[in-house]
Amino acid sequence: MARRLYPPGPKNKSPVAYGVTFRRNPLNFLTHLAREYGDIAHFQTGTERVFLLNHPDYIKDVLVTHQANFLNARAPLTRSLLGEGLLTSEGDFHRRQRRLSQPAFHRERIAAYARVMVNYGARLRERWQDNQTLDVSNEMMQLMLGIVGKTLFDTDVEAETEQIGVAMKEIRELFEMPGLAHSKLLEELPLAPAARRFQKARDRLDSIIYRIIAERRRSDLDHGDLISMLLFAQEEDGDRMSDEQVRDEAMTLFLAGHDTTTNALTWAWYLLAQHSDVEAKLYDELDAVLAGRLPSIEDFPRLKYTEMVFAETLRLYPPAWRIGRHAINDYDVGDHLIPAGSLVLLSQYVMHRDERYFPDPERFDPERWTAEAREARPQFSYFPFGGGARRCIGEGFARTAGILLLATLAGAWRMRLSNEHNVEMQPLLTLRPKHGIQMTLQRRESSVRVSQ
């Protein structure tokens, strides 16, 4: 077949109209694009040409095989917040920062963090009341703020929750403003109201992080937390991170670490409340393995179904719902050419719902994650944590938190959806419920109350 310049895609709207449609409802737009035009689709938004790749082989090529030909595509608002952290940096600098940060996520460190996770989860489950109605997304956010604050900074961030919460609310509202996250407004109009709000919120978070960095520099003690690892990490030549580099990595880990797991746990509760058969199997496993006690990292080999529930949640509601890359040079894919400078999109949300790899894809079915089922699927039919050199460095942390907190909380409670609450997905930096999720707590009769 002769190579065509552009793959198929919609043609009956102006580039501006497609840009508006894409930003208004990106999940539906990208899903329709893949189902209508196949594994390689193309559209234009403004002056930028966008290519959606929706086949495991193509995704692997971009993320792994030919990753050197692609630059990370991040919105200006993200870069303004996270600086040159792992999520936004490139090239040799990114490789250096990842190398210095990697020891913070070794298995031994994760095991130590696991104890913090369970302790904070146990404190929350003791505070909950029978028949209490609450926003589970807010509960999971507060829980993860405390856990990430403790594991990252060895500090009780719960004491500063209100200040952090206000800053996070401001930042989320800015990401919700149409087009702002993808524009250069903050750079071009630094005195605009939105820019001032963003800077004020960022300054609140910065003040906390820089204060902790200064305290650690003065004491020169290793507290066994993530920020100590960043401060003491050094290259063979003795070179260490500057305060600004530590700040950027800490900000990235702080925001990404709590936000992604917050959303995954929230969606897990939402799915369990609607699938009594799955819920019953989960509780049977927790009762058999834990018998009312709190879980630990040593229980992982026997919490197989809990792990499968979490994996299936990440399939249906991946916190990172798309990956963007800019092609450095012209790139051949299939029978088509992607010109240099084009934006390449890989969508976990779309790929994870492809019926070629996940029959009846909208069905919540943890049995998809047996060892045999995993082996039968291509690797990049499922990539909630990305892949290649930019694969999420906190994957082990997120999986450990998700499984242990699900086991801790479900060991004592079940949740039921509020009949009057409408749940709507909101694909911003992460995929979260737009209006939260109102649920009512029900204490499990078979659970054993654990006092802390």
What does the pLDDT look like over 149-172, one tens digit per residue?
Answer: 888 877 765 566 667 767 776 776
For the beta carbon of residue 198, count every other beta carbon within 10 angstroms. Answer: 23
Task: Quote the mean pLDDT of the chain.
Answer: 86
Residue 13 lies in a domain: no
Cα distance between residue 408 and residue 402, in whole Å: 10
CATH number of residue 340's parent domain: 1.10.630.10
Residue 7 lies in a domain: no
Residue 358 lies in a domain: yes
Residue 4 lies in a domain: no
Residue 3 lies in a domain: no
What does the pLDDT look like over 301-334, one tens digit per residue?
Answer: 999 999 999 999 999 999 999 999 999 999 999 8
Residue 451 lies in a domain: no
Cα distance between residue 286 and residue 429, in whole Å: 33
The reported pTM is: 0.90
In the predicted model, what is the mean pLDDT of residues 442-448?
Answer: 73
What does the pLDDT look like over 73-100, one tens digit per residue?
Answer: 876 667 777 888 888 888 888 888 888 8
Residue 332 lies in a domain: yes
Q: Which domain covers residue 176, as residue numbers?
A: 20-443
Return the half-sphere exposure (C-beta side, CA atoms, 13 A cut-off) of residue 280. Answer: 3
Domain tally, the chain:
1
**Element (H or E) spanning 274, and its range?**
helix 243-274
Q: For the residues of 200-260, what is the DSSP string, one character each? A: HHHHHHHHHHHHHHHHHHHH----SSHHHHHHH-B-TT--B--HHHHHHHHHHHHHHHHHH
Residue 329: its pLDDT value, please? Answer: 96
Residue 335 lies in a domain: yes
For the beta carbon of residue 43, count every other beta carbon within 10 angstroms. Answer: 26
